[in-house]
Every structure is written in C-alpha cells, then in structure tokens.
A and B are shown apart, each in its own frame.
Chain A
C-alpha cells in the first residue's frame, strides 16, 4: 500500500479507501469537545473512509447515505446469515446472504411493518397525547419546586419509556425495571476502553429478550388491546410469524427508550444554552415541531451498518459482496449538500434529513416520538420556563449508540 498523503486525520493510500486514525472516532466525547465538528471535517475531507484496522467503510455524504439506507436489496440491514444458521436471540430477522435473498427479506420486512402500522399511525399516536401530558407532569411534580433536577435521570429516562411500557402492555409493576433496562442496554461506562460495539449478548439485552418473550406468552390466551395483543392477533390472522411477534416486541423495547431519551437530552441542553430559542418555544408553540426537528438534524444519534450484497462501484468506492458499510447519521444530516441543509433553519416546514433512518427501515415510531417531544417541550416550559446547566458540571456524552448525556443537571429559580 503506497501512502500518498498523511495528515492529522488520516492516511490515504492510492487506489484504496482512506484510513482514519481510530483516535478520531471515540465512544465518548472529551469534556467540552464538539465531536460533531470533527466528524463534519472528516466528511468534508473524505466521502468514505475506514477507521484503523476495522474493515467497515464509513460513508459520509448525504446522497450516498440516503441510497445506502434506501436500498435494502444492495445494502442489507444485517450480517449475512443462511437459513440454517443458528438464531442468535430467537427473533432474528429473515436471513439474507445475497442480493436476491435480501430483496425477499426487504419485502417481508415491509409486510411486517404494514402489520404493525395500525398502532403507529398519526391518529393512533394522537390518542396517547393526554397520557403523555400526565406522565410529563407527574415527573415534573417531583422536582419543579426544588429548583433543580437532573434532566436525564429525573425526567427523560422515564418519560418516554414509561409511555412505551403502557403501550406495550407491560404490567405497571414492571415499568421501572423495563425503563432501567432501556436506559442501560446500550450504555457503556465512561472509563471503558476497547468496548465491543453493539454487543447483542450483554446481560441486559438478554433480560429484555427473555422478558418480552414471557410477556407474549402470558398474554397469548387472552390478548388485550395493547401492542402485544395487536401482535398476537396479527399472528393468529396469519400476518406475522411467531418469531416476528418476538422481534417486534423486542425492538419496541430496545428501540423506543434510549433513543427518545437521548434526543430530548440534546434538545433541552441546546435550549438551556440558547435562551432566545427557548423563548420562541414558549411564545410560538406552533414552531415546536420544526425547532425540535432541526435540533434532531444537528444532534442525530449514532448510526447503522449495512452489508453489501454484490460487487459494485458506489460513489467512487469499490465495494465487494460481504463488505460492511456504516452510516453515522450526524455526517449526512449535517452535510451542506443535503436538501436545505446548507444553513440552520428552525422554521422549515418539512425536512428530508436522515436522522430517523430512511425508507424501509425508517423509525416506525416517528409519530410517537415527535408527539412526545412536543409534549415534553410544552409541559416542561409551562412549568419551568427558565433553566440552565448547573455551573461547574463536567458532562459525560456517550457518542456510541446514541445514548447522549449520561446526566444533565439543570437549575432554575423557584
């Protein structure tokens, strides 16, 4: 490999994929560090790169990332797996090992999504807004008069997870345990080194899988009007296979908790540091959705990998079947080449960013999450309109898995 350029970020080999120093890609942000600005610089320097010895190819720019996320036939959302391979967790998605099987698996995934959609429509999500307001105010009641709270640990890590447990149909006595699992499952200790990314067999993950499986079985004889009941009726009607019921129930728990928790942390931290925008949230509530969406674009969560299903030239990069590519959402979402992304705009009516993933794997809970964000912003600011981050606090921001801030202490005058 003949090196033709070397700088602080990377080495570039002629005819090869640029290699970035692993020190550029960390699990945690350093105190006060704007790691997203560093990723912006990497995007501008390289449309694609690898990190140290890891063979995964990171794509950085909007168009390429949109194509990767959109085309599940060419970029399969998982590792290759043959039909006879042992299941990892008992709820593995339909296996794919080449382009044809990936295309079939994508079609099946869309079929499964359609079976779930009645529980994720805008009108169904609207039905839960009063309950969202109750949960938000129950939490705020606990600390509003104290003049201080940890936004993450006292509010956001409970708010959406508790709602999710109720929608799921988990018994009330289990909500605390499930919310804790959701918070912990992708969290890594700040002092860890060499952490294994996305460890699917950590104890918390196994606990969630076991719990959901038991919950499904406990409801099988008499399905209720909750999400698990919906899944079981879809299974009975032949819409879903038993393993798809387990998958949907598990993903509901894994996907809903930490993501919204982290997103709200980023939104409220930004507002704590930008009083003018906070005033706009209070005085122009009709702008809350567009403000929240732009803050999501600026502070997206982590990313997803895809497996290449056939050899191809893709945006100037030679990929081989079996290669793994990665979309770290912050890169395409802040790419000024993206539609309307050349400037910060808290008033845009619609957005085409990729923070919710895109197309066949786009977050099915998007309407729930947007409404929950709006409710959290409305109810919090109705009770606590002015707040700031406690002086002298050194925030821990986990980049990996999109966990965001482990703690976010706010203070305000009462």
Chain B
C-alpha cells in the first residue's frame, strides 16, 4: 500500500511513474500518479480538484502552484480515495 512518506525514492518507483503524472512543490511535496494503475475513476479530483484533474480517462496532477498552499491532509485524503492505489503523496528527497 502506498502511504504518505518522507524518504528517498528508489529505482522501482522511478520506473513506476515513468508512465504517469508527477508534480513537486517548492517545499518538496510530490504527487505521483501511476498511469499503469490509474483507471480514471475521478475520486481524487472529487476530493481535491485543485490538485487533480481527469483527462483522457486518466488522472493528472495539476501544476504545483495550484495546490502548494493546500493543507497536506487534503492531498493525503485524495490519495487515499484512489481505488487502485495509484497515487502517492510524499516528501521526496531523491
């Protein structure tokens, strides 16, 4: 299960988001969506439309300046709503 975390991402995770969407805020919070898993259910967009949008049956992360001021909990809630565990919200060092 993908959880909120603070650590360096590994090679497998880099590979996992090679087919996906990612945005990082200046504070280091990064949202990643794995499009191999995402089925476009839209729950993330419903919970947090500032950070997520559905296009072409996939979820995409909006530019970080649109969500960087949001409470972290709202981003986490959006990530937790994904039935496919396709979203990770984390502070990445790598």
Binding site for B on A (CB under 8 A): 70, 107, 110-111, 113-115, 117-118, 121-122, 239, 339, 350, 352, 358-362, 366
Contacts and interface: CB of A to CB of B under 8 A. Distances in A.
Contact of A360 (B1, B80, B83): B83
Interface of B: 1-2, 36-37, 39-43, 56-57, 80-85
A114 B85 contact: yes
B40 A352 contact: yes
Contacts of B80: 110-111
Given A110-B81, A350-B56, A118 B42 contact: no
B85 A117 contact: yes
B84 A117 contact: yes
A364 to B, nearest CB: 8
A110 to B, nearest CB: 5
A122 B36 contact: yes
Given A121-B37, A122-B37, A362 B57 contact: no
A118 B41 contact: no
A102 B10 CA distance: 38
21 contacts: A70-B41, A70-B42, A110-B80, A110-B81, A110-B83, A111-B80, A113-B84, A113-B85, A114-B85, A115-B1, A117-B37, A118-B1, A122-B37, A350-B57, A358-B39, A359-B39, A359-B41, A360-B41, A360-B83, A361-B83, A362-B84
A239 B1 CA distance: 10
Q: Tell me whether chain A's interface is mostly helix, strand or loop, or mixed.
A: helix
Contacts of A366: 39
Given A358-B41, A360-B41, 17 more contacts: A70-B42, A107-B81, A110-B83, A113-B83, A113-B85, A115-B1, A117-B85, A121-B37, A122-B36, A122-B37, A339-B57, A350-B56, A350-B57, A359-B42, A359-B83, A361-B83, A366-B39
A114 B1 CA distance: 6
A70 B46 CA distance: 12
A70 B39 CA distance: 12
Contacts of A114: 1-2, 85
A362 B37 contact: no
A288 to B, nearest CB: 18
Nearest to A115: B1
A87 to B, nearest CB: 25
B40 to A, nearest CB: 7
The interface centre, meaning the residue of A118, A121, A239, A361 with most chain B CB atoms within 10 A of its CB, is A121
Given A110-B83, A113-B83, A117-B84, A362 B39 contact: yes
Contacts of B41: 70, 358-360, 362
Contacts of B2: 114
Contacts of B57: 339, 350, 352
A122 B42 CA distance: 20
A348 to B, nearest CB: 11
Contact of A359 (B36, B43, B85): B43
Contacts of A362: 39, 41, 83-84
B1 to A, nearest CB: 5
Contacts of B82: 110
A359 B59 CA distance: 13
A359 B37 CA distance: 12
A357 B61 CA distance: 25
B41 to A, nearest CB: 4
A9 B19 CA distance: 48
Contacts of A352: 40, 57
Nearest to A352: B57
Contacts of A350: 56-57
A114 B86 CA distance: 9
A103 to B, nearest CB: 11
A211 B40 CA distance: 36
A117 B16 CA distance: 14
The interface centre, meaning the residue of B56, B81, B85 with most chain A CB atoms within 10 A of its CB, is B85
A358 B82 CA distance: 12
Contacts of A361: 83
Contacts of A111: 80
Contacts of B43: 359-360
Contacts of B39: 358-359, 362, 366
B76 to A, nearest CB: 13
A365 to B, nearest CB: 12
Q: Which 5 residue pairs of A and B lie closest in terms of their CB atoms, listed nearest first?
A: A359-B41, A117-B85, A114-B85, A114-B1, A360-B83
Contacts of B83: 110, 113, 359-362
Nearest to B86: A117
Contacts of A360: 41, 43, 83
Contacts of A115: 1
